[in-house]
Structures are given as C-alpha cells and as structure tokens.
C-alpha cells in the first residue's frame, strides 16, 4: 500500500507541470491586450503601453514568460494581480474558505439525497418508486442552475421572506447568518450532485445485487436490510467514491453562474472577473490551485478505495 501511494504521489508533479503549460499557453489565445485594459485613459499613449508591457514582461517571448512564472510558483509565489495589485496567493486564500464552505454544504446535500435514493431505486427496481426517483433525478440533471436559483429566490426570499436573496457572511462572524446566505446556493448545486450520485449509485447497486455473494448471503437467511447495507452497498460504493471526489473537486473549482446569481465571492466570481480584465496571474493561480485540489482528491479517493474494499490492498501491494 505504501509503494502504491508513493507512485501516486510521484505522478502529481508531472501532472501539474503539464497543466501549467496548458493554462499558460491557452490563455494567450484570449482576445484583447492586458496593457490596454491596465492603461485606462492613457491607452492611447504608446510610451505608457510599452512601459506596462515591459513591467509585466509581456514584451518577452512566451517561453521566457512561462519559465519566469513557473520559477516563482515553485517558490510559492503566484505573482501579483495586475488589476488590483494584490498577491494572487492572498486572493486564493481569501476566496478558498468561501468556496470550500459552499462546496462542502452542496456535497453533503448531494450525498444525503443521492446515495440513499440510488440504493432505494435499485432495491425497488421497476416499481413505481423507482420510476419516480429516476424522474426526479432526470429533472435535477436537466434543470439549469440559474433557473432553479432564481425560482428559489422568488419563493423563499421574495414570497416567504425566510432566507436572504444574496450576499455572503463568513462562518466565523455569524454562523447562522452564514448558513442562511449559503443554504439556497448550496441546494442549487447539491441537487445536481445528488442526481448524478443517484444514477451511479443505482447502477452500482444493481450490479452488486446480482453478484453471487449476495445470493449466498440471502441463502444463509440474512435479512434483506443486512444484505443490502453490509454486503451490496459496501462494494457498490467503490465507483461512487470516485465520482464523489470528482464532483467535490468540480464544486471547489467554482460554480460561476450560481455564485453570480447569489453574489457569493468565491473562486467562480474571482476567475470571471480575472478573465474579463485579462488578469493572467489570477487565472493561472486559480486554475493551478484547482488542479492541485483535483489531484489531492484523486489521491484521497485511492486511499478510500482501500478502506472500503480490503481486497484492493492486496492487489496494490
């Protein structure tokens, strides 16, 4: 197991290196000149534009720009935001708790709804309850987040007045108000996660319930609840763990539309503002941080595999 984990950790560096090349290279295809945006009213002065380009190394070859940026990143320095003149690392650390709170709440909602619904749908296969659960899951997958968010605001904020329509309050300042401001956006994101988890849990459970060890457990006289919970579900959770880590990473990457609708100052809003203002260091830093989170979540998923299914420890040894 230790050797397997060391091999997985060894894959992190080349993966992040490839991602850094792609991020740095592809963003150069974005239309517009950052110097023109930063120059403001003096954009018509060639000397000002030349000075800005020289200061930001925009007049250097791309390879030299990339190596200079990568050298700073290796030292933990993501550079400064061209627009607001703050360290990119400071901006990421400032937005990460907001996005982490929203993603965690959304993920918990998705798991609490999706996994039990998938199990029940598999157990009640081809029954009316199964059809109803699948219909709800299909609705959750196909419903746009912006529409559901607007409908929730109209119902719970405008009509009932139960929850604030937008804004964000840090958890450490006022826990109850913080939960109130993030409950609706978390539910909007969580319904999509729940629908995906439900369908994958159902498929995995159907496969597990058809296995010989399940028939053997039933032949021993074990109750259906024990067969489903102890024997089938434990093995069916393996692909669900993979999907869960991917979904959680996607939530951490920032739900742009949802954060815009509810005015949540997370990763999504930070990236959107940076793209519109051609703030390359912020885009690079956020994407690289997100990639690192995905890689770490993938490593955590591998560890959870072995905890859920002991047979994998022997295979990976």
Q: According to the model, what pLDDT value does residue 42 have?
A: 60
Band of residue 109 on the pLDDT scale cut at 50, 70, 90: very high
pLDDT at 300: 78
DSSP 24-47: HHHGGGSSS-HHHHHHGGGTT-HH
CA distance 280 to 275: 7
Task: Name all contacts of 50-58 with Cβ < 8 Å and 24+ positions apart.
Answer: 56/82, 58/34
Asked if residues 194 and 267 have their Cβ atoms less than 8 Å apart, the reply is no
Predicted confidence at residue 32, as pLDDT, reads: 67
Q: Is 79 helix (H, G, I), strand (E, B) or coil?
A: coil
Alpha-carbon gap, residue 252 to 194, rounded angstroms: 16
Average pLDDT for 157-177: 85
Best CA proximity match to 151, nearest among 179, 184, 181:
184
3-class secondary structure, 80: strand
- pLDDT tens across 11-54, in order? 777 888 888 888 887 777 776 667 776 766 666 667 777 777 78
* CATH of the structural domain 91-316, one choice from 1.10.3720.10, 2.60.120.620, 2.60.40.420, 1.10.150.120: 1.10.3720.10
Q: Which residues pair with 87 in a beta bridge?
A: 80
pTM of the model: 0.79
> How far apart, in whole angstroms, are the C-alpha atoms of residue 167 and residue 291?
27
Query: Cβ(16)–Cβ(291) under 8 Å?
Result: yes
Residue extents of the structural domains in the chain? 91-316
- pLDDT, tens digit, 9 for 90 and up, residues 278-314: 788 888 888 888 888 888 887 777 777 666 665 555 5
Rounded mean pLDDT, 235-249:
79
């Amino acid at each position: 197991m230790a050797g397997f984990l060391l091999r997985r950790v060894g894959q992190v560096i080349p993966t992040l290196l490839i991602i850094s090349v792609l991020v740095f290279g592809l963003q150069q295809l974005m239309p517009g000149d950052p110097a023109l945006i930063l120059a403001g009213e003096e954009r018509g002065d060639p000397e000002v534009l030349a000075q800005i380009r020289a200061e930001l190394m925009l007049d250097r070859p791309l390879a030299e720009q990339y190596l200079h940026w990568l050298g700073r990143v290796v030292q933990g320095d993501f550079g400064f935001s061209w627009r607001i003149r703050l360290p990119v690392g400071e901006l990421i650390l400032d937005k990460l708790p907001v996005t982490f709170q929203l993603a965690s709440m959304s993920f918990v909602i998705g798991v609490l709804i999706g996994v039990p619904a998938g199990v029940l749908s598999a157990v009640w296969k081809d029954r009316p309850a199964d059809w109803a659960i699948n219909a709800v899951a299909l609705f959750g997958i196909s419903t746009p987040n912006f529409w559901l968010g607007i409908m929730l605001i109209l119902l719970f904020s405008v009509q009932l007045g139960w929850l604030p329509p937008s804004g964000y309050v840090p958890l450490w300042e006022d826990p109850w108000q913080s939960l109130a401001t993030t409950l609706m956006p978390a539910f909007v994101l969580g319904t999509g996660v729940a629908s995906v988890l439900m369908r994958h849990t159902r498929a995995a459970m159907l496969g597990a319930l058809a296995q010989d060890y399940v028939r053997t457990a039933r032949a021993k006289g074990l109750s259906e609840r024990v067969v489903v919970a102890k024997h089938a579900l434990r093995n069916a959770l393996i692909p669900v763990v993979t999907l869960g880590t991917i979904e959680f990473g996607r939530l951490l990457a920032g739900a742009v539309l949802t954060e815009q609708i509810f005015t949540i100052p997370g990763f999504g809003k930070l990236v959107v503002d940076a793209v519109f203002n051609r703030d390359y260091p912020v885009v690079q830093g956020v994407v690289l941080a997100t990639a690192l989170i995905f890689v770490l979540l993938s490593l955590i998923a591998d560890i959870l595999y072995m905890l859920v299914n002991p047979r994998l420890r022997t295979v990976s040894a």
